[in-house]
Chains A and B, each alone.
Chain A
Amino acid sequence: MRGIQLSFNKTQKLRLDKALEQLEYFSSKLNSNAIVTVSDTIPVNHEDGVLKGHGTMELEGEVVATLCGVVERVNKLVYVRPFRARYKPEIGDIIVGRVIEVAPKRWRLEINFSQDAVLMLSSMNLPDGIQRRRTAVDELNMRTIFEEYDVICAEVRGFQHDGCLHLQARSQKYGKLERGQLLTISPYLVKRQKQHFHHIDQYGIDLILGCNGFIWVGEHVEVKDDMIEDQTNKSEQQNNKLSGLASHQNQEHNYTPLELRQYICRAANAVRVLSTLGFMITVDKIMDAVEMSTSKNLNIHEMLGAEFYVLVAEREAERRSSSSKKR
């Protein structure tokens, strides 16, 4: 089985197989035989006219798939939606990425796309919150904003004429992510939704489901509007900066408490388990898995053991059976 390198005992294996069988049963009811592999012919009605989309090509008057995936039809358009592939950006997507290079006026980010993405200095808000032209000094101070290997959350702005992917971070919710874990999963497991930022109040953690399959689990950060708060806090911050001692104390105060770190690890492990099993990642499912682990009194490391995989698979089968009954 793909990705799962665990030793299941006999009963666990049987239970897992049963759960997966159930999943197969529910999905086969929903989907017709729309699954194709490379070089399969896609049946189309040529009289209506056909628009060939991604993952298809024409061969001797037939439409042929060039990818493995599911055939989708929208009016005349026929395209193949692949499963395991790199991220394909769409404008407005919220993504998480890692800075790999600080270049003149821009940062280069690794985002699991076929090229590196570009975040221009001019397309993000400055930390002081003032709208102004970026000067040479700003350019020299770019490393104070983001350094190499920093994890960043941003939005896809669009493609430039030369085919480069540009990002933007024009809001307080975007920017550097600290005190948490970055998980990389296949992008097909993340669904595009209205909300990709999630604050789990109960545990005090933030979850960012990046459309590119990078998932951030971290300590909750209060998004504050810098414009208002800035004026009042500015003098205070400057004082802090001047006295090294005060900032040191501040840092100590800012340590993430142990309990919070444990919740972060639990949520991260839940994502790991769900993604290795190949289930779609949603906040509900992650929280459900976290709750299940705490209610069963499992340690954090036990969440990556065989038993928990089986439990999550069974829970998923149960969930899908109840949702199909409602229909």
Chain B
Amino acid sequence: MEYVTPEGFRLDGRRPMEMRQLRAEIGVVSRADGSAVFEMGNTKVIAAVYGPREVKNRSEQLNDQALVRCEYSMANFSTGDRRRKHKGDRRSTEISLVIRQTMEACILTHLMPRSQIDIFVQVLQADGGTRSACINAATLALADAGIPMSDLVTSCSAGYLNNTPLLDLNYVEDSAGGPDVTVGILPKLDKVTLLQMDAKLPMNILENVMQLATEGCKAVANYIREVLLNNTKQLEFRRGV
């Protein structure tokens, strides 16, 4: 199948190095300490953060740092075929673990000993790149909850189809069976915290694809920062003196 036309357009009309439209909203869950909705094109993810709060299970309590937990789920209506997915299947456990580890790397957990932070992410619409969207949404929600972080983590995916590196794959491109590289970076420190790929790629091509994904992450970071700044300004002027 042709994923890139000779004119250089993808199936949804984007250029190979073009991202889908981003949209983010902060404070969507009123009872949560922090929450956010993050959209990349048709992919839509909601994240809620609770904590730092008292550890529920005393045996899990850590005396020198906070316990970070993450739960990922996919809404039944998120995909084209409506399917009941039981909680805790292999895929969602794996993604929960990935999100937990990436977020734990940037949260300054030593500042909140003997407490726990819960991150809940749910996919409302799945159209490829859910993993990245979840991480971006979780970052926003954590920042909204006022949890100290060493840097914002942002994530973006990239793939390689028809001998072209493609940024931010959608569902059709994702299910084409080609390589799909998900990259998470700390933009300020310029470090990679997440790198996942389920296929094989030659070394030199991987570098190109990863470079592209990193550029995507930086674009996401700029957008997230803008959203956060706007939100903080709103809070400041509304509060008054």
Interface residues of A (CB under 8 A from B): 2-3, 20, 23-24, 26-28, 30-31, 35-40, 55, 57, 59, 64, 66-70, 82-86, 110, 114-116, 163, 188-189, 277-280, 316, 320
Contacts and interface: CB of A to CB of B under 8 A. Distances in A.
Given A70-B236, A188-B239, A163 B228 contact: no
B188 A114 contact: no
A279 B238 contact: yes
A28 B238 CA distance: 11
Contacts of A69: 146, 232
A38 B149 contact: yes
A66 B148 contact: yes
Contact of A35 (B52, B66, B232): B232
Contact of B150 (A66, A189, A278): A66
B146 A35 contact: no
A86 B187 CA distance: 27
Contacts of B26: 2
11 contacts: A68-B146, A82-B146, A84-B27, A114-B51, A114-B52, A115-B114, A163-B113, A189-B239, A278-B235, A278-B239, A280-B240
Given A68-B231, A84-B33, 9 more contacts: A35-B233, A35-B236, A38-B143, A57-B150, A59-B189, A114-B51, A114-B54, A163-B113, A320-B240
A311 B226 CA distance: 30
Contact of B236 (A31, A67, A110, A114): A31
A83 B148 contact: no
A212 B240 CA distance: 19
Contacts of A57: 108, 150
A95 B234 CA distance: 27
Interface in B123-148: 143-148
Contacts of B147: 85
B27 A3 contact: yes
A123 B168 CA distance: 59
A167 to B, nearest CB: 15
Q: Which 6 residue pairs across A and B have the least CB separation, nearest first? A: A85-B146, A2-B27, A114-B52, A278-B238, A27-B237, A114-B115
A37 B232 contact: yes
Contact of A3 (B30, B189, B232): B30
A86 B34 CA distance: 10
Given A30-B241, A69-B232, A280-B239, A39 B114 contact: no
Contacts of B108: 57, 66
A3 B28 CA distance: 7
B85 to A, nearest CB: 28
B87 interface: no
A163 B111 CA distance: 12
B183 interface: no
A189 B235 CA distance: 10
Contacts of B146: 67-69, 82-86
A3 B114 CA distance: 30
Contacts of A40: 225
Nearest to A28: B237
A36 B52 CA distance: 22
B53 interface: yes
A182 to B, nearest CB: 14
Nearest to B30: A3
B152 interface: yes
Nearest to B228: A37
Nearest to A23: B237
A30 B241 CA distance: 9
Contacts of A66: 108, 148-150
Given A37-B228, A68-B143, A114-B53, A279 B237 contact: no
B148 A55 contact: yes
A47 B225 CA distance: 30
Interface string B26-52: 110010011000000000000000011
Contacts of B235: 83-84, 188, 278
B114 A83 contact: no
Contacts of B104: none
B241 A279 contact: no
A279 B239 contact: yes
B127 to A, nearest CB: 26
B229 interface: yes
Contacts of B54: 110, 114-116
